[in-house]
Amino acid sequence: GAVVSQHPSWVICKSGTSVKIECRSLDFQATTMFWYRQFPKQSLMLMATSNEGSKATYEQGVEKDKFLINHASLTLSTLTVTSAHPEDSSFYICSGQIWGAEETQYFGPGTRLLVL
Amino acid sequence: DQQVKQNSPSLSVQEGRISILNCDYTNSMFDYFLWYKKYPAEGPTFLISISSIKDKNEDGRFTVFLNKSAKHLSLHIVPSQPGDSAVYFCAASGWGKFQFGAGTQVVVTP
């Protein structure tokens, strides 16, 4: 149980284009979803917290206009990297949290983004 | 400001021996701690957790110890197996958010 999927698993795009990454909770309702990014050999860095039906809360230093997050339903959150640049190349991971069980997060498999 | 620190970037251990991974945190408001295992190009998978009201939690080969006064937790894996080779992240939770350490790469050798 508590499976989270991400799509696509990897994407290559040209600089200046936008990329959308989907995060779905397959067998539970995720009242809260988190988006992380990870650079090679570094920690998972929280980018933003999204609650279903409301605006995402971004961590300090994360540009909300560049990383658009939508949490339209209890099973789907999307992250759109707008006007991507090579420095946005990273591994993006989402996680879902079940209401009433906030002590645990269930992670997706991640999306590898490469911006050329 | 890194509130959760794993000071050992790597650990090599022989199969069958004990692996001990360490993690320190600075914020005394954290009330829940977790360990995740991560393979390359995959998301982290939950291993074991511990609440701040406990000092030990055991699940099979995995045991987590928490020393609140020292703001330190550790993960013991015994016996270590080749499939345990991965990156291990500790995480601290407070206010519904998680802070992760930088990870420790564990290599289990035959």
Q: What are the tokens at B33? A: 């701690």
Q: CA-CA distance, A53 to B103, in Å (whole number)?
A: 33
Span A20-74, pLDDT tens digits: 999 999 988 888 899 999 887 778 899 999 988 888 999 999 999 999 999 888 8
**Under an 8 A CB cutoff, do A107 and B51 touch?**
no
Is B42 in CB contact (< 8 Å) with chain A? yes
**Residue A1 pLDDT more than 80?**
no
Mean pLDDT, residues B4-23: 96
Closest chain A CA to residue B30: A103
**Residue B35 pLDDT more than 90?**
yes
Mean pLDDT, residues B80-90: 95
State how beta strands B56-59 and B45-51 pair.
unpaired
Q: How far is B86 from chain A (nearest CA, A)?
A: 12
